[in-house]
Structure 1
Amino acid sequence: MESLGQIGHFGTGALGYLIPFLFVLTTVVFVHELGHFLVARWCGVRVKAFSIGFGPELFGFDDRHGTRWKLSAIPLGGYVRFFGDEDAASTPDRAALDALTEEERSTTFFGKSVWQRAAIVAAGPIANFILAIAIFAAIFTLYGREVTTARVDQVVAGSVAEKAGFRPGDLIRTIDGSRIETFNDLQRIVSTSADRPLTIVVERDGAPVTLEATPERREVTDRFGNIHRIGQLGLSRDTSGGNVTVERYSLPEAVVMGAEETWMVVDRTFAYIGGLFAGRESTDELGGPIRVAQVSGQVATLGFVALVNLAAILSVSIGLLNLFPVPMLDGGHLLFYLIEAIRGRPLSPRVQDVGFRIGLAAIIMLMLFTTFNDIWRLI
């Protein structure tokens, strides 16, 4: 199955991208695989190897339980290999399993109950979500967040907002039923809702007013020169003077907010996927390892807090991606175990092998497509 203070500027060369990229990806992958590892150990499964990266081993060591902890040459993922596995994808070595004694088989992953196997598989993505919540909570507690009330200071003439009936002084309360507390909350929802009608409740002169508006898709360029196609309404907020405050939160409050922030990433991801199927979003926005490396290097110039915030977002994305019901991914394994629990027996080896091959082909095609997008974007 498939880690203080200010870092500052990493430079603009290759190392300026590589070091932040390895920091972010290694952190997320390590926590993901650690989730699998800890629950497997708890269930009594022997773990043969814990690897960060694929391919040839660069260095490693054996712990007292016989697990080989290693760093491998290709830093694009990782794996935990259990006793009885044929490969890093946790494909069963059926010949070896058949030759084991009953006692030996009980220490293999495939010798455990379907519920234990499901728990081991699910532990990886769950660990990613926990990591994200912990990072967000730490940021909210130690550094706080900038807060600007969701009050409209200006409505751009001729904009979607003006046509929808927004006025200066309106206080945004909810969007599609979701509570809006800051102007940043408004921006995040609107930017990812291009061409999708929104129901927005504002407070005007002490009374609620319901407005309908569809954010207009526009191209904007960020500080690093990257072009993004996002939704805009045409509302602005004055961020000068005392309009922006920094609020810090107690640990319990921060944990709740961290969970909300994590859910926001999940919700926006599903909104984007839904937009792809509806034809509202473009596949040009999909990125692979090259894109992650580029963004990591750019974000690192903003400091350590920004970089670990990116790690939290990436952790949610990897956890969510692994839950998709695609064979080879954790979600595909969970789908097989659900079918096994319902049928009372596992799918035949042939059906599982075909499923894994289809899943592998799908993953390879996705990687090739996102890498092509990355290269095209750079060109």
Structure 2
Amino acid sequence: MPFPNLDSVESILAIVVVFGVLVFVHELGHFLLAKRAGILCREFALGMGPKIFSVKRGETEYTLRLLPIGGMVRMAGEDPELDILKPHMEVTLVRDAVGKVTHILLDSPTGEEKGAVTGTIVRFDLEQALSIELDVEGEQRTFSVHPQAHLVKDGHEVQIAPLNRQFKGKTIWQRFLAIFAGPAANFLLAFVLFIVIGFTYGVPVNAPIFGEVLKGGPAAQAGLQSGDRVLSIQGQTINTWRELVDIVSKSPDKQLTFVVDRGGQKIAATVHVQTEENVGKIMVTGSNQVTYEPGEVLRYGAKSTYDFTTMILKSLGMLFTGAVGLDDLSGPVGIFKMTGEFAQQGMAILMKWAAVLSINLGLFNLLPLPALDGGRLAFLVAEALRGRPVDPHKEGMVHFLGFAFLMLLILVVTWNDLQRLFTE
């Protein structure tokens, strides 16, 4: 069966938790920076499609949706929710003690609203002036609207959003940060996961210490032993295992003088480096020692995040240059399968995989493609260069076409995943 790793509840739970955390952290980045900028966030959602659970806290509705793919932070000004209010429409205004309108009822009043006024809309401005003018029995009256007033239709309340609470009402820099914060949160999550791995399982010591010295190999023939710490090679001081590997690999079929520390005693040995595919080898492995030193763990977290980021960027470059084709890509099905398999290999492997996925999600969203965070950032850069925003309708059309393209791409890679699964 193509999905043997999904036979266990643990694997399924691992998939749900990993992807739930990745999406949650991404959307939390958007949410926190948007709130910091003063943007009204109407909804914080995990998943897509119909709502299966929702709760409102403050100005934001927190929802869980049916399809476990993605999520969203719905910010004020990004949808036409207030277009339901039109001139010549009969409404009822409910006011507070100081006379400000707190509710605009589009349904027939129940008669329980104290201080309510019913009339026909002449004009209104709920973005800047925060006022509404009604024709009340032939008399035109203007009312001041509270900045947190609600429209009420069919029992559903929608909070109005003055321009200074809308996404478009913020500075370019504030909007840029609110969008960029999503991918940035994924990089931060990867960094944190690598740090957790380091503190939990230790960080491999990068010291130039021999682990296993293979019998009959060049190092063993020269008298080197397991546990020897290399001090220098050919007079060059060696501080890390990487330095040792670099020198040896670039010295095939050469004689190298090693100075090692063995129990506090310095020992010199001449090693004849053997050649394997034009690469120098002395047939030793590194030490399996690990460290939990905070500085080393932090460096490990930063370096791992950087290394995987550059590796993924190179892979993306190969995709755009044609070195890698669409047949080599994995979609949601393939990623789910690999997540389940890694879950069977232990928590350390699963956390590292989650960190890599988080970096992938951050980088993918930063691609300057319509419908992605990178595409929205590109429009903001264009606005900064032009001195004025791109026409919202044109931008919306570009994002719509980009979304359609992404859905097509997901279908293609998912089809590839299914073909690979059923031919295994």
Do they fold alike, i.e. is TM over 0.5? yes
For residues 13 and 241 of structure 2, what CA distance do their matches in structure 1 show?
34
For residues 278 and 29 of structure 1, what CA distance do their matches in structure 2 show?
29
SS of residue paired to 1:106: helix
1:246 and 2:290 correspond:
yes
For residues 72 and 293 of structure 1, what CA distance do their matches in structure 2 show?
19
With structure 2 as the length reference, what TM-score do the two structures score?
0.64
1:46 — aligned with what? 40
- CA shift for structure 1 position 147: 4.9
The CA deviation string for residues 307-364 of structure 1, in whole angstroms up to 9 with x for no partner, is 1221111111100100000111100010000010111101112431232123112211
For residues 96 and 43 of structure 1, what CA distance do their matches in structure 2 show?
27
TM alignment of 1:179-218, pairs within 5 A:
201=250, 204-205=256-257
Decide which of 40, 61, 67 is 1:68's aligned counterpart: 61
Paired residues, what number? Answer: 311
1:128 — aligned with what? 186
Contact 2:22–2:186 (CA under 8 A) maintained in structure 1: yes
- Residue identity over aligned pairs, in percent, reads 33
TM alignment of 1:309-328, pairs within 5 A:
309-328=352-371
Tell me which protein shows more helix as a share of its residues.
Answer: 1
With structure 1 as the length reference, what TM-score do the two structures score?
0.71
- CA shift for structure 1 position 11: 6.4
- CA shift for structure 1 position 99: 5.6
Letter in 1 for 2:392: P
Contact 2:11–2:344 (CA under 8 A) maintained in structure 1: no
Contact 2:250–2:280 (CA under 8 A) maintained in structure 1: no
Tell me, which stretches of 5 or more residues in structure 1 are unaligned? 1-9, 87-91, 155-168, 172-178, 187-199, 208-212, 216-232
1:305 and 2:357 correspond:
no
The CA deviation string for residues 161-204 of structure 1, in whole angstroms up to 9 with x for no partner, is xxxxxxxx9x9xxxxxxx99558xx8xxxxxxxxxxxxx75694
Contact 1:21–1:292 (CA under 8 A) maintained in structure 2: no
Tell me which protein shows more strand as a share of its residues.
Answer: 2
With over 3 angstroms needed to count, the CA separation of the structure-2 counterparts of 1:139 and 1:13, relative to structure 1, is same
Contact 1:27–1:311 (CA under 8 A) maintained in structure 2: no
What do you get for the CA RMSD once the two structures are aligned? 4.0
With over 3 angstroms needed to count, the CA separation of the structure-2 counterparts of 1:277 and 1:34, relative to structure 1, is closer
2:388 — aligned with what? 345
With over 3 angstroms needed to count, the CA separation of the structure-2 counterparts of 1:302 and 1:61, relative to structure 1, is same
1:82 — aligned with what? 75
For residues 300 and 69 of structure 1, what CA distance do their matches in structure 2 show?
29
1:109 — aligned with what? 167
1:100 — aligned with what? 126
Letter in 2 for 1:334: L
Contact 1:148–1:244 (CA under 8 A) maintained in structure 2: no
- CA shift for structure 1 position 81: 0.4
Letter in 1 for 2:37: C
SS of residue paired to 2:73: strand
Decide which of 22, 25, 50 is 1:56's aligned counterpart: 50
Which entry has the higher C-alpha Rg, 1 or 2? 2
Tell me, which stretches of 5 or more residues in structure 2 are unaligned? 86-123, 131-161, 215-223, 225-229, 231-237, 260-274
For residues 374 and 153 of structure 1, what CA distance do their matches in structure 2 show?
42
SS of residue paired to 2:49: strand
Contact 1:153–1:235 (CA under 8 A) maintained in structure 2: no
1:140 — aligned with what? 198
Contact 1:48–1:83 (CA under 8 A) maintained in structure 2: yes
SS of residue paired to 1:260: helix
